[in-house]
Amino acid sequence: MKSIRIGIIGTGQISQTAHIPVVSRMDDFELAGLCDVQKNMLHSVAARVAVKDPSTDYRVFVTREDLDAVIIATPTDTHHPIGLAALRAGKHVLIEKPLATTVREAEELTRVARDRDLVLMVGMNHRFKQDNAALKNFIHGGELGTIFMIQAGWLNYQSSTQGWFSKRERAGGGVFMDLGIVMIDLILWLLDFPIVDTVSASMFSHKTKHVEDSASCFFRLANAASVSLQVSWNASVEKQQYYLDVIGSKGSASVNPLRIHKVIAGSPANVTPVLPDPHASIFRKSYEHELRHFAGAIRGLHPVISTGDEAAARMRLVEAAYRSAASMREIIL
């Protein structure tokens, strides 16, 4: 098949470490253009990957006839205007998480994509990690029985030192918008999107002024299961801690590393599958799987995973968590 001509808007860390190198290696895509308001970085990256005529104006960039699709990897407050411009110009769009800063913005992007029959995908790459995919297969197949409790957390340093990242009006929030939304999306995807009945959250700002740097949340699901989640930029840990523990009526599982135990003949047995790739390559492979899926969705080979509608639903939960923390009470959804 003819390669999909793709442009990347935003040439910062995630584009340089994931999107650009992955796209450059894939037969599915032709890297046709780069765009960024930071001229020095833009021209440096463009020269390194031999991309001609880099642009500093996304409004002009998205109208280029030699582009079929764009990846948007820019500050969160720009996702909505850039995404709208790209969709209205007839381009398929992959937007790095979160989709937007508000539910209203997320819903508008989703509506415009649907009206124009274009692919709008949100970069929740944890769905494409092979350990998470293997765990989902076990849960979906009923191997662990009824899932009734999940405990998860992500304790890490702040993902970006850029000024916009710690300003609520630009980032949409702090650590909960950065790490929490990823964990919520992963958990609900693993469970095939159960209804969330209530949200209760506490948030703290010890080293940040305008956004939270730590958060703890508790979700009650309509099927009576519970989810406990903790995220922080401020934990005094030697290295990041990323964990997800799933407890079911017939077994349990965890990730990082993947471990799955199932009750067989009355005793727990280790049934962890052997994954084909080493742990160190899981991050890189997740972006390869994500972008390959994006290409397949553009070609109509399969429905989109991580849609705009799903992202808008995650945003509703995030907004409920912020309301809960601000009011110090449980929010009933």
Predicted local confidence at residue 239, as pLDDT: 83
Q: Please state, in angstroms and rounded to a whole number, the distance separating the CA atoms of residues 144 and 268.
A: 11
Average of per-residue pLDDT across 230-245: 90
Token digits of residue 126: 């944890």
Predicted local confidence at residue 277, as pLDDT: 66
- pTM here is 0.94
Average of per-residue pLDDT across 33-58: 97
What amino acid is encoded at 181 in this protein?
A: I
Longest CA pairwise span in the chain (Å):
65
Pairing of strands 92-96, 69-72: parallel
The Cα angle at residue 182 between residues 192 and 208, in degrees rounded to 5 = 150
Pairing of strands 241-248, 251-255: antiparallel
Predicted local confidence at residue 10, as pLDDT: 98
Q: Give me the CATH code for the 127-276+314-332 domain, please.
A: 3.30.360.10
pLDDT band at 278 (very low <50, low <70, confident <90, very high): low
Other CB atoms within a 10 A radius of the CB of residue 175 amount to 26
Q: Please state, in angstroms and rounded to a whole number, the distance separating the CA atoms of residues 288 and 19.
A: 9
| Chain segment 47-104, per-residue pLDDT in tens | 999 999 999 999 999 999 999 999 999 999 999 999 999 999 999 999 999 999 999 9
Closest of 210, 151, 187, 211 to residue 313, by C-alpha: 187
Secondary structure of the chain in HEC code, one letter for each residue: CCCEEEEEECCCHHHHHHHHHHHHHCCCEEEEEEECCCHHHHHHHHHHCCCCCCECCHHHHCCCCCCCEEEECCCHHHHHHHHHHHHHCCCEEEEECCCCCCHHHHHHHHHHHHHCCCCEEEECHHHHCHHHHHHHHHHHCCCCCCEEEEEEEEECCCCCCCHHHHCHHHHCCCHHHHHHHHHHHHHHHHCCCCCEEEEEEEEECCCCCCCCCEEEEEEEECCCCEEEEEEECCCCCCCCEEEEEEEECCEEEEECCCEEEEEECCEEEECCCCCCCCHHHHHHHHHHHHHHHHHHHHCCCCCCCCEHHHHHHHHHHHHHHHHHHHHCCCEEC
pLDDT band at 157 (very low <50, low <70, confident <90, very high): confident
Predicted local confidence at residue 215, as pLDDT: 98
Q: Please state, in angstroms and rounded to a whole number, the distance separating the CA atoms of residues 109 and 85.
A: 10
Q: Which long-range contacts (CB under 8 A, 24 or more apart) does 324-329 make?
A: 324/199, 324/200, 324/201, 324/217, 325/201, 325/202, 325/203, 325/212, 325/215, 328/202, 329/200
| Chain segment 125-154, per-residue pLDDT in tens | 999 999 999 999 999 999 999 999 999 999
Q: Please state, in angstroms and rounded to a whole number, the distance separating the CA atoms of residues 69 and 92.
A: 4
Ranges of each domain in the chain: 4-124+287-305, 127-276+314-332
pLDDT band at 279 (very low <50, low <70, confident <90, very high): low
Token digits of residue 261: 């135990």
Average of per-residue pLDDT across 226-247: 92
In contact, 242 and 257? CB cutoff 8 Å: no
Look up the CATH architecture of domain 4-124+287-305: 3-Layer(aba) Sandwich (3.40)
Q: Please state, in angstroms and rounded to a whole number, the distance separating the CA atoms of residues 52 and 63.
A: 16
